[in-house]
Structure 1
Amino acid sequence: MAIEKVREYFSQWGMEDRILEFDVSSATVELASQAVGCEPKRIAKTLSFMVDGKPILIVVAGDARIDNAKYKAQFSAKAKMLTPDQVLELVGHAVGGVCPFGIPDDVMVYLDKSLKRFETVFPACGSSNSAIELSIEELEKYSNYSAWVDVCRGWEE
């Protein structure tokens, strides 16, 4: 199970006990915000795309949407999301639990600037009923991100 992979991943820092597991689904931003008890925008959703034949993950705020023009300017490609089967095969997590933790080394991770307005955010932990509260600095550290990007719209306050 992917959540066990994530639990093992966080155990190297003694953080596995910080993973929250819910009796209800947290597979969507709305459901995750209800399970966690926070505003939907503080859910850090992880979106998966194919760029140059390789999977990438972009972690964005719950109220952000991909802006196709910004995405194309950043990655020199049209935004093409992975299918659920591709996500499971290439990233190792099923849709609803996709996160930047416990993933293959060749999967590049990017963080969208829509997250920078929060002290803490809640990304999933490999299952459709899990999350972990991380500061932005912790998200940077544990996601092994490649770069901050600006590829979203709809979140500006």
Structure 2
Amino acid sequence: MDGHQIWMQECAKINFEAAPKRYKEGTRTSEDAARQLQCDVSNIAKSIVFEGQDVAIIVITSGSNRVDRKKKLKKILGYKPGQASPEYVLESTGYAVGGVPPFGHLKETIKIIDEDLFKYDLIWGAGGTADTVFPITPEDLKEICKAEVRNVKQ
């Protein structure tokens, strides 16, 4: 079973009716996804994984932003989270780098959403693989993730 099938099962568990799109050309990066969707890269909700003290930290940020781990995340969390290796990402979320969805992780995670995503009516997140994306409103994303909305960009 691939990451997308796993993610769809996780969506069913929370009664989220995903409307994913799959692109054989791939959606591994925010730029790839925006090109496939013909939208601005800012409409892409990329999930960045950091090593937390007890669990993984998932920062869901606008595709055009970089996360300020050293100052802003440190202030939010009370410590500076570590950079996550591809192995850590897979182990802590159940998904490979490039396909990490904003929710539906196989282990507990802490989620923080970039406030900039709320500038848009519709955003696109990864659907469990590096070739799938799905649409969602920022409000629905916040509710499903039970996440804090914060300023995390550099």
Q: Quick check: TM above 0.5? A: yes
Rounded to whole Å, the distance in 2 between the matches of 1:8 and 1:49 is: 24
Cα deviation, residue 14, structure 1:
5.9
TM-score, normalisation: structure 2: 0.90
TM-score, normalisation: structure 1: 0.89
Rounded to whole Å, the distance in 2 between the matches of 1:125 and 1:116 is: 20
SS in 2 for 1:44: strand
CA deviation digits over 1:63-93, x for unaligned, max 9?
A: 1111231121111222422100110011111
Gaps of 5+ in 1: none
Q: Which residue of 1 aligns with 2:11?
A: 10
Rounded to whole Å, the distance in 2 between the matches of 1:14 and 1:72 is: 32
Rounded to whole Å, the distance in 1 between the matches of 2:110 and 2:64 is: 22
Does the aligned pair in 1 maintain the 2:57–2:111 contact within 8 Å? yes
Rounded to whole Å, the distance in 1 between the matches of 2:57 and 2:71 is: 18
Q: Which residue of 1 aligns with 2:40?
A: 39
RMSD between aligned residues? 1.5
1:44-59 pair list within 5 angstroms: 44-59=45-60
Does the aligned pair in 2 maintain the 1:7–1:19 contact within 8 Å? no
Q: Which residue of 2 aligns with 1:95?
A: 97
Rounded to whole Å, the distance in 1 between the matches of 2:16 and 2:137 is: 16
1:53-68 pair list within 5 angstroms: 53-67=54-68, 68=70
Of residues 67-76 and 121-130 in structure 1, the stretch that sits farther from structure 2 once superposed is 67-76
Rounded to whole Å, the distance in 1 between the matches of 2:82 and 2:27 is: 24
Rounded to whole Å, the distance in 2 between the matches of 1:131 and 1:99 is: 9
Cα distance change of structure 1 residues 14 and 110 upon mapping to structure 2, 3 Å threshold? closer
Does the aligned pair in 1 maintain the 2:23–2:36 contact within 8 Å? yes
Gaps of 5+ in 2: none
Q: How many residues align?
A: 151
Rounded to whole Å, the distance in 2 between the matches of 1:137 and 1:121 is: 10
Rounded to whole Å, the distance in 2 between the matches of 1:96 and 1:20 is: 15
Cα distance change of structure 1 residues 72 and 14 upon mapping to structure 2, 3 Å threshold? closer
Rounded to whole Å, the distance in 2 between the matches of 1:115 and 1:90 is: 24
